[in-house]
Amino acid sequence: MAFFTTEKELSFVERIDNVQSMLTNAYNEAQSIKEDLVKDNENKQVQINTLNQEIEKNATLITKTTSFMNKLKDIIG
């Protein structure tokens, strides 16, 4: 007794449906990647803003420290 497997040939409609399904999946995956990238950019922008605030604070401290050092230098002679 022989068993034969015959693959059913897909109709044009089924083939088009398969292509549409693959394209829909590709679109959904691209959309997910885009959303992840947007979130990543937002997080990085927050980090940049935080660093800029720290840099400004350091610049202010450098100015105050320099002024303090100059006053000490005048006192020392």
Model pLDDT for residues 36-55, shown as the tens digit of each residue: 999 999 999 999 999 999 99
In angstroms, rounded to a whole number, what is the distance separating the alpha carbons of residues 50 and 12?
A: 57
More confident residue, 71 or 2: 71
pLDDT tier, 4 (very low <50, low <70, confident <90, very high otherwise):
low
Q: What is the pLDDT of residue 8?
A: 80
Torsions phi, psi of 59, nearest 5? -65, -40
- Residue 2, pLDDT above cutoff 90: no
The predicted model scores a pTM of 0.64
> Per-domain residue ranges for the chain?
25-77
User: C-alpha distances in angstroms, 34 versus 22, 23, 59?
Assistant: 18, 16, 37
In angstroms, rounded to a whole number, what is the distance separating the alpha carbons of residues 72 and 60?
A: 18
